[in-house]
Structures are given as C-alpha cells and as structure tokens.
Amino acid sequence: MSTVAEHYERHLGPIYVWMAGGAEAALQLGSAEIEALNLPVTRGAVVLDLGAGFGMHSIPLARRGARVTAIDSSVELLRTLTKLRGDLPVQTVNDDLLGFQSHITEAPSAILCMGDTITHLPDLGAVENLIERVSVELRPGGMFAVSFRDYSVPLAGEQRFIPVRSDETRILTCFLEYEPEAVLVHDILHERTSNGWQTRVSHYRKLRLSPEPVINCLQAKGFKVRREAGMRGMVRLVGECV
C-alpha cells in the first residue's frame, strides 16, 4: 500500500486535473462552491486551504481578493497550482496539513479543508486535533469549511467499482475495500500508449468518517455548524467561530 503522499506523487498527481474534468471546469465548480460557502472573506482577508491540491478553491478565493496560503503534501499538485494561479496571491506550501500553524502570520478569516481531504488523516483523533487547532487560530467570526465523503455505510458487491472518468486515451476506475475504521481506495488507471493499453494500480487508506462526530467536535469547540450537501455527493460542514 502507498502512503497518501506516494499515491498522489506517483499515481494521481499527474492525472488529477484530468480526473477533475479539466482545469477550467474544475475552477468553475470550485468558484460555485466558494459562493455557496458564504465565507466572511473581504479583500485582503487571510485564508488557509488545507490539502489545496491544484487550487480548485484557492484560486477562486484569490480571485475574490483573499490572500491564500495553499498547503499540500503533493509537490506535483502544487506545481500545477503555481501554473494556474498566474499573478494571484496564492502562496503554496509543501507540508503536512497538520503543520498548518507554522505557516500562519495573521489570524485567518477562514480555513478550508475541502474535497475529501480530511479523510486522508489517520484517525478520528487526528481530525479532532485539527479542529481544536483550527478553533484556536481563526479570527472571531471566522469560518472552518470541510467537505468529505461519508464512507460509514459500506457499498457492497459491484457497487464498490466506481467509474471516475474515461475518454479515448484514459480510463480511471476506483475500487473500494472496507476495513472497520478505514476504506482502502484502489485507483485503477488504464492509459493508451504507443504500445497499447497499460494498466497501473495503486491504493491508499481513507478514514470512514461520518458527519456526526465531526459536527459534535465542532460544536464542542464553540462552532455554530451548518450541514449541507456538497459537490459530487460529499457532505459539507461549515462552522462559524462564535
């Protein structure tokens, strides 16, 4: 099994933008999601994007005038973000998202952890620890937004094979294998080369996180929580630091 960082570096990173439907479409989706979040972000506000990937949310935020710090463990995806951001004020940081506090110079108005990033953490304790630290760092009235897939109810049989995207040169299929606390995500990639089709498979572990413990933890840290439907079947939680 690969670590998350290895999986993104070797397997998903090079095709991530393709997987997300192309840069333009993905940034449009990210922009719509930023609109829906209704964050307290005025011009010059500081925002942290944890597990920012290629900047699906960081770039739309910067277009709205925020100063964004985009943290990710994938050098490959941060390289893509740097190309896509142009002159926008998005600072990229290659680090584990749990180390986010060492990259704060001003209290953030918002902290994001979107697109099923939080399920990459090793266990619920790490999720609670992250929320604790976020609650300490946000400005009063600041917001924490998180979106993730609820893997708590297992898919069965052939439902565990999920077609992600395909075109004439590439097919990406995901296969899920359940453990009590985690799900092993196998990404099966077929690519057409000059020597015919080639197949590469890599898998990594994601947490089977359900929304309730995350909501409970946010509320225990003093957040007022909004729960809504996120993109592509994800759960979205928005906590306001009151």
Binding to ligand SAM, residues 109-168 (CB under 6 A)? 114-117, 120
Does 52 sit near ligand SAM (CB under 6 A)?
yes
Of 46, 72, 92, 218, the one binding ligand SAM by CB under 6 A = 72
Q: Contact region for ligand SAM (CB under 6 A) — 46-54, 103-111, 137-145, 199-207?
A: 46-54
CB of 195 to ligand SAM, least distance (A): 30
Does 47 sit near ligand SAM (CB under 6 A)?
no
Position closest to ligand SAM via CB: 115
Q: Please give the structure tokens belonging to residue 100.
A: 């986010």
Measured from the CB atom, the residue of 119 and 135 that comes closer to ligand SAM is 119
Conformational region of residue 134, where left means phi above 0, alpha means psi within -120 to 50, and beta covers everything else: alpha
Q: Work out the number of other CB atoms within 10 angstroms of the CB of residue 77.
A: 25
Q: In sequence order, which residues have a C-beta less than 8 Å from that of residue 232 and are 6 or more positions away?
A: none
Q: What is the DSSP letter of 7?
A: I
Measured from the CB atom, the residue of 52 and 138 that comes closer to ligand SAM is 52
CB of 197 to ligand SAM, least distance (A): 26
Does 56 sit near ligand SAM (CB under 6 A)?
yes
Measured from the CB atom, the residue of 97 and 189 that comes closer to ligand SAM is 97
Gap between the Cα atoms of 142 and 163, Å rounded: 37
CB of 141 to ligand SAM, least distance (A): 23
Gap between the Cα atoms of 89 and 83, Å rounded: 13
Does 77 sit near ligand SAM (CB under 6 A)?
yes
Does 6 sit near ligand SAM (CB under 6 A)?
no
DSSP annotation string for 48-111: EEET-TTTTTHHHHHHTT-EEEEEES-HHHHHHHHHHHTTS-EEEEES-GGGGGGG-SS--SEE
Binding residues for ligand SAM (CB under 6 A) = 4, 8, 51-53, 56, 71-74, 77, 96-97, 114-117, 120
